[in-house]
Structure 1
Amino acid sequence: MSEDFIDVVIVGSGPTGSAYARIIRRDWPEARILMVEAGPQILPQTGAHLDNIADLKERAALEVQAQGGDRTPRIPMSKEEWEARRAGGFDASQLRRSGLFIANESDPAENLFAGFSAANVGGMGTKWSTGTPTPSQVERVPFIPADELAAAITVAEGLLGTNKNPHPDDQTAIAMREKLGAVFNPGRSSDRFVQPMPLAVTPGPNGLRYHGTDVVLGPMVDEPAESFQILAETACRRVVYEGSRVTGVELAHPGQDDTWFVAAGTVIVACDALHSPQLLHASGIRPQALGRYLNDHFIISQMAEMHSDVPMQAMSWIPPTNDFPFTVTIHPTSFTSITRPDGFTGQPVGMGVFCPADLNPDNRVTFDDSKRDWMGLPAISIQWRESEGDKARQDYAKQTARKIAEIIGRPAPGFATIVQPVGSSLHYQGTVRMGEKDDGTSVCDRNSRVWGFDNLYVAGNGVIPTVTATNPTLYSVALATFGARQIAREGRQRQAA
């Protein structure tokens, strides 16, 4: 693809950037689209999911390549750290998540924000859990008509390739869900009953094939470069604009000073909730809400012991409702040789209770213009503090986790109910949030167009403005379809004129 003029430049190659590309291509077939990715192409298949690689050593080596500027292999958890975690204490392995880690306190056990960002073609689409549960009504954007958002969610399910019941014959999981349903289903609508976790997967004779952005992009991965191209190992240093119109992007190879300019009709910043505001800040685009309202749900982890003669394979889901604020995921897990405690004779079952956090404009991403990261952009820091309401909900979530464990079998002996550091879900939101009007509390409108600009959009979990407890990928892809349709519509109108 030549560097003269591109109809649409997408910065970031994750699920929402890929969704923009696919919907724009559907509605505007002639559009020339360029996708920019700071990280490398780590797999032969564009944007494929790493979990499809059976060889764990090979997978781990590729994950290191997706860590951006920090490609230090992760040190495994030690026995001492594992025992500390089992006992409910803080273990230092939580500070060794591969990739970007940001903490704002000298005491890492207090107000730690554990952030991570993938940098590779496919973004987090190469690493995500593939969970695609639908957000509850209270989690949805209130100023988007309900029928429009429901239709967008259906489109997003198609883009991601959601399977509502990947293990339909798992009798152990079915029996467990029946027991849980007897307690949690009364008073719920049928779509919010205890159910299989929807996953973006394709079942096959050798197990599940996990969907990455290769599935979202579909046939676009085989298009000629003149029509669609992904520039790997290319950082966007700046979005260039004149007045209310973006004119293009300034690009560079990470670690190099030389830059080049690509003229663009529209630019979509689809990095992530940490790096999208970073790029806007570096570009001098700094609305009052930029980087603020950083939000994530806490994860309360509980190990349960189930007694069943048949191993469970399926993941299950207790959805949130207006009266039940948590998303609960229940899944089979396993022990290593050093971790099974005495007296534990049944199946280990893992559980994560996603617990929502209060919105706070002072929980935010900040940037240091005097320091540069590996991409040559202002260094990121996090300001985060949990509220008293957050602490109360965590206590309620712990009680809920233990109650569920009792229904499944019993809380696993020797395992405490623990709260993972906020950020561990990798579901952070709100930093480029959408709003109903430009009143200083949002960055973009309901179609994700940045306030004050005609042709600049943002994408990703960062646009979500509400308090959530649900895995957000399906939600953020659904929101991306509104902006993509608008870009395609306006592009066709310009061509016709």
Structure 2
Amino acid sequence: MSAKSTDVVIIGSGPTGSAYARVIRRDWPEARIVMVEAGPQILPQVGGHLDNVTDLKKRAALEVQAQGGDRTPRLSISKEEWEARRAGGFDASMLRRSGLFIANESDPSESLFAGFAAANVGGMGTKWSTGTPTPSQAERVPFIPTDELQAAIEVAEGLLGTNKDPNAGDVTAIALREKLGEEFNPGRNPDRTVRAMPLAATPGPDCLRYHGTDVVLGPLVDEAPETFEILAETICRRVVHENGRATGVELVRAGEEESWFLAAGTVVVACDSLHTPQLLYASGIRPAALGRYINDHYIVSQMAEMQSDPPMRAMNWIPATNDFPFSVTIHATTLSSIDRTPGFTGQPVGMGVFCPSDIDADNRLEFDDEHLDWHGLPSISIKWKQSEGDRARLERAKATAIRIAEIIGRPAPGFATIVLPVGSSLHYQGTVRMGESNDGTSVCDRNSRVWDFENLYVAGNGVIPTVTATNPTLYSVALASLGARQIAQARRTI
């Protein structure tokens, strides 16, 4: 790295950090942008999606490289763990997520069961499910005008390359949508009826090509380093600031001790919902709401059996509404012969009923200055408690899962309805939440600018302040586009 200063520095190379870079470039063509990523570049294609690697052995090795500081291969599920899961119990394999690393482990009955994050060029964009469903009206930020937020969602769909029906023509999936629609469509607005799950993917002759941040960045990756540069395996130790203005960042190469200062006109912290508040904390930026209000939805998992010919390939989606708080994904899955119970003859179909959980300021991250993680930053722990409202919604979600399984065919024999611990979706949010006013209950404004700062922004699922049940990537990229637009507008006039 030869540059000592830049117009914009973005900490984190995932979908929202990449969206900031792309929109700033769109609206401010002459901007110099530096992106900082703690992990390595693991694919020749910058930010490419790992699921496009067809060699499964090679993909598994790449997933280990994507784990950041802890590069221990994750073990597959054991027979004992599988039997516990089938019976509806907790199994330890849920704490082993391929291609991700564990930030902390907690008692799953008492706390957010674990924290995960990716560390490689592309961030979680190399491993995300590519689901891009739109949030319901109840999930959207109430203090951003409806038309403005809808326009931002459409921008996000373009950045991510959303395909509304990536497996078009799947006759079995279409027939199932019609059956589900008879049950769930009455009373819904036309845009919230049962439909194919939108994915950030391009159909190919044999399979889908999944979109990573290579798609979000687009032509940026071909620019000269003088205008756009990604610093891989580079850790940001702190945001340097004075009198409400960020002046730049302190950086260090992974595994080295000597740091250097990169001056910047604007700083965007786009790590993730755990590491963005961690970096702000380490930088002495500690608003009252920092790390608080951590929230995620539960997943109620149900296996169903479907008599289908031809087999279903597409993923179907029942959207959340004001009256139906669950977002439901229905997809084909696989079972080996030893997994099937006697009489199981149809196609196995997996289902996830995403169930919202209540927001509570006491559900929070805590940082330990005495114990540092592999970044050299205060280690993270998570404190979280289930609410009475959560328990009531979960009972309704479990009943909904059985109801849907019966429409599909039947609940798969030998498989219990399972409530995965909150946090298992990796859709944490709220830890740097936006607010309508600087009243101590939020970290940033509606454009993701940190309160009391002129030029410091945050990005990622952590800015979402609402209760949600929908995959949040599209939503958080939409909010990122608003912040990026404001940066470009403000800086181009200077």
Query: Shorter-chain-normalised TM-score: which range?
Result: over 0.9
DSSP 3-state at the match of 1:200: strand
- CA distance in 1 between counterparts of 2:487 and 2:209 reads 32
- CA distance in 2 between counterparts of 1:234 and 1:338 reads 46
- CA distance in 2 between counterparts of 1:394 and 1:326 reads 10
Q: How does 1:185-196 map to 2 (within 5 A)?
A: 185-196=185-196
Matched to 2:350, the amino acid is G
Does the 8 Å CA contact 1:114/1:421 hold for their aligned counterparts? no
Which residue of structure 1 aligns with residue 393 of structure 2?
393
- CA distance in 2 between counterparts of 1:42 and 1:260 reads 25
CA deviation string 1:331-365 (max 9, x = no partner)? 00001343122211000000000000000001111
Does the 8 Å CA contact 1:8/1:264 hold for their aligned counterparts? yes
Q: How does 1:335-484 map to 2 (within 5 A)?
A: 335-484=335-484
Return the offset for 1:104: 6.3
Matched to 2:102, the amino acid is F
Does the 8 Å CA contact 2:108/2:421 hold for their aligned counterparts? no
Matched to 1:435, the amino acid is G
Return the offset for 1:100: 3.1
Return the offset for 1:230: 0.3
Does the 8 Å CA contact 1:79/1:338 hold for their aligned counterparts? no
Which residue of structure 2 aligns with residue 317 of structure 1?
317
Which residue of structure 1 aligns with residue 102 of structure 2?
101
Cα–Cα, structure 1 residues 102 and 108, in superposed 2: closer, same or farther, change >3 Å?
farther
DSSP 3-state at the match of 2:114: coil
- CA distance in 1 between counterparts of 2:35 and 2:6 reads 10
Matched to 2:101, the amino acid is L
Which residue of structure 2 aligns with residue 28 of structure 1?
28
CA deviation string 1:243-296 (max 9, x = no partner)? 111100000122322100000000000000000000000000000000000000
Which residue of structure 2 aligns with residue 263 of structure 1?
263
CA deviation string 1:229-254 (max 9, x = no partner)? 00000000000011111100000122
- CA distance in 1 between counterparts of 2:186 and 2:231 reads 51
- Scaled by the length of structure 1, the TM-score of the pair is 0.98
Which residue of structure 2 aligns with residue 123 of structure 1?
123
CA deviation string 1:179-208 (max 9, x = no partner)? 000000000011100000000000011210
Does the 8 Å CA contact 2:112/2:383 hold for their aligned counterparts? no
Which structure 1 residue ranges, 4+ long, deviate > 4 Å from structure 2?
A: 102-105
Return the offset for 1:471: 0.3
Which residue of structure 2 aligns with residue 275 of structure 1?
275
- CA distance in 1 between counterparts of 2:252 and 2:171 reads 53
Cα–Cα, structure 1 residues 375 and 465, in superposed 2: closer, same or farther, change >3 Å?
same
DSSP 3-state at the match of 2:376: coil
CA deviation string 1:430-459 (max 9, x = no partner)? 000000000000000000000000000000
Matched to 2:217, the amino acid is L
Which residue of structure 2 aligns with residue 16 of structure 1?
16
Which residue of structure 2 aligns with residue 246 of structure 1?
246
- CA distance in 2 between counterparts of 1:419 and 1:221 reads 41
Return the offset for 1:112: 4.2
Which residue of structure 1 aligns with residue 211 of structure 2?
211
Task: Give the RMSD, CA atoms, in angstroms.
Answer: 1.0
User: What number of residue pairs does the alignment pair up?
Assistant: 493
Which residue of structure 2 aligns with residue 74 of structure 1?
74
DSSP 3-state at the match of 1:479: helix
| Larger deviation, residues 262-271 vs 1-10 | 1-10
Cα–Cα, structure 1 residues 259 and 102, in superposed 2: closer, same or farther, change >3 Å?
closer
Return the offset for 1:128: 0.3
DSSP 3-state at the match of 1:26: helix
Does the 8 Å CA contact 2:448/2:483 hold for their aligned counterparts? yes
- Scaled by the length of structure 2, the TM-score of the pair is 0.98
- CA distance in 2 between counterparts of 1:14 and 1:239 reads 19
Matched to 1:2, the amino acid is S
Which residue of structure 1 aligns with residue 292 of structure 2?
292
Does the 8 Å CA contact 2:8/2:34 hold for their aligned counterparts? yes
State whether structure 2 residue 165 is matched by structure 1 residue 178: no
Matched to 1:132, the amino acid is T
Return the offset for 1:103: 5.3
Which structure 1 segments of 5+ residues have no match? none
Which residue of structure 2 aligns with residue 140 of structure 1?
140
DSSP 3-state at the match of 1:188: coil
- CA distance in 2 between counterparts of 1:458 and 1:221 reads 22
Return the offset for 1:95: 2.0
DSSP 3-state at the match of 1:101: strand
Which residue of structure 1 aligns with residue 168 of structure 2?
168
CA deviation string 1:20-78 (max 9, x = no partner)? 00000000000000000000000000000000011111111100001111111111111
Which structure 2 segments of 5+ residues have no match? none
- CA distance in 2 between counterparts of 1:95 and 1:204 reads 34
